[in-house]
Structure 1
Amino acid sequence: MNFYSLYQDRALLESLKMLNKLSLLTRIYVAICSIFITLKIDNIIIWNWTQTLWGVWVGLICFIGISAGCLIVTFSKIIQYLFDRQNLQKSELISYIWLTQLLIFGSVSITLSSFGYLEYLENQSNYSHNFVVQQYFIIAEFFIIFIYSIYFRIDICEQIYITLQDDEPVNQQQFSVNMQGSNQTLQQINPTSSRTQIPSVVQKISKTYFGIPTRVKKGGNQDSISGSPVLKKPSKGHKRAFSSQGVASQMFQEMDQIVIDKQQSNILNKNSKNEAKPQIDKKRCNSQLVTIGQEESIQNKNHEMSLSQTSNICIVCYERGPNAVFMNCGHGGTCYQCAIDIWKQKMVCYLCRSKIEYILKVDLEDRYGDLFKVVSTTQMIDQFNK
């Protein structure tokens, strides 16, 4: 019977297959080592124990190499944290150090145990002294790791929780889009899971505000948004707050038009008083008006381009995309890393000061119009403090 058919999640299926492959390789490795030890005990092969345990030495070298690689990565993370603390969280650095300690403890303990048993098998006289040294080292290293784990337990648990949340998608239903003809309209989206009440789709209303659509129909008619204003008739205050940039640009255009009109009237007055001037002066004035109009249009285009660019980056670090949404208020505009930092420091939204229940991470590339797909969530972890 194929048990893989019971799992519908592709990521979970791939993880199970990878674990089975690692389990198979481990069993093959143990079987090879056991075969050579059995042949040595039965005197079928005339080797010493150092040659017989060649498989143990190969595995030990691989384990030490993994520990050394983790140590190098951790050292680079420490340097990155010292010079650039915005892109690396403290809990992540603590988790790297904790994992490196575990790997080093395991590699050193296995190495000392292997050499100790090798001396025992070869009947060397000083093997008991080496065992005593090994025991003291293992006990001391164990207490160091134990104290470190207790002291930084909150940061380690937080990083493990965030890692599991990033690997496990929140949405329980498929993000289905029905394409019909050239219109390509959405039939129906049910983004809220009945179990967790966590949305799988959010709708961008403004630069720093997202809503949860409950149903999207043909023709653009939309139902109300849970926990947010109705999309059909947005409130005046909300509309006013997020249309100030358009009003400002319109005021600048009107002021520029007034300046141009005054310049034109002054030029016409001068032309009426000085009718004897040659036609070259009139052409020069017209060319100046044309250049002024072109410069104003170029400035307006540059202003619009800058506004569109600033709306696609985080308002805190100005480096990454705004892919985080605070819930249940629905405010966003920040990247996922900055949102985690705000949540850890303030525990409330930076705009409305309401309590942050959980943070949604959206995929800025996977979108349909103003609808964005939710890829993961970070919830409160008060259970670790209990």
Structure 2
Amino acid sequence: MSQHRSQQIAQFQQDLAFTPLESITKLSKLLFLLVFTNVYLLIYLTYLVFSYDLKQLIIFYFSFDAMMMLFLIILKIKFSFAVGNSIFDIFFSTIFKTILFIHFRFRELEIQCLGYAVFAYYLLRLFALLFQKVFRKVFIQRYYIYIQGIKALLALQLMLILFKWKGVLEWNWFVIFSVAWSLLVIFFIFHLILILSIIEIMHDYLLRRASKSQIIGSVWLILYFCSFSGIPMWFCYIICQNQEIINYPTSQTSLTLSIIVILQTFIIFIFSTIFRQHVKNYIQDIGFEEQIQTSNPKDTKQQQSKANNSLKITLPKKLIQVSSTYFEFFKQPSQQNQQIQNVTTNNFSVINQKVRLNAFEFVARMDQIHSPEKESKLMQNEEKCQVCFLQEPHIVMLPCRHGGICNDCLKQWLQKSPNCYLCRQKIHQLCKIQKDESGNFTIKEIAVFKI
């Protein structure tokens, strides 16, 4: 049995050597968002530093939007990158800047009507997403709804700025930016919670309750979130002070903020390069919502036949997970069978809480332990993925109940086959588990595959 399993794992590792890795990862997407946000800030900060003409500022934004649109189109065509509505948003932004350019260069327009149109468009998109999720029961990740809500609020902020330009509102600029201040305060509170939580994570790490990836990932997220809390808050403050105070040192403060933005961007990229694997593990741990599926549109029909389309469902309170290789079986009352039957594909939802499983007990192979040195090596091997032997295994497949594989290796395997990599039985559910302080296992999320 052991020899047969070793042959299966060796064959699996050989298959993975010919499997192409995803070129666009979640980390790449986050870094792309960081660059996009910081460049937009830097363009306006250079306008405040050098005080050039407003029409030149619009031309700079035109050029940047054109580069971003071209870049997204290349990612969409060459890498099948899911750009969503980003291309259309940039195109819509280009039309908006064109109208502003005509307004400032040739003749004045009723640009407050443009504010109405932009706000109405993003508000309708938000309502459309909510309607599909609530009434039509379409599976939409909450992440997209949050992003669309933020876009609608930013459109409202833009409408208030246009009203101020046209003299419709007589408020001061600090009140005009009230929507931006509200969002930034929420982000700042969240950022502060992240900073305070790292103290607890470091304490857990000293007690061996947290991994090294959690500490490094938390530090990375704190540095990353500066671009969405402290830096834009200072940016809005400079804009308001520049409009309200005549002799405010706008150039000096804008130059200081520009240097901070550039340094923060370089630090994030250097940090992400040095600790790339730890950061990727942390991102996967806090966001397991990514669907495990191939991204090539030519293989769509094959994906449907191979059942690589996953959906989140609500968990029962307890779910027994057994593997002859990795987990020990503990018999449970008959209620468990009834609970497992209730896990159907008609009950789709995103899991919001952890579920403890007292039935998960990791079995140490005491018959193979003859010395403390062998015991240490055995425990280290058991805690690593049985395919790559690098990351911690936290995936268990149902109904065969085999585990010992990390998320990265599983995604690569599912691109080749929808069956278990050990017993070749078809996978119906995937459980993401985590070992708690007492040594028991906790189910964090579960995915059900359409057959």
With the shorter chain as reference, the TM-score category is: 0.3 to 0.5
User: With structure 1 as the length reference, what TM-score do the two structures score?
Assistant: 0.45
Structure with greater contact order relative to length (CA < 8 Å, sep ≥ 6): 2
Which is higher, the Rg of structure 1 or of structure 2? 1
User: With structure 2 as the length reference, what TM-score do the two structures score?
Assistant: 0.39
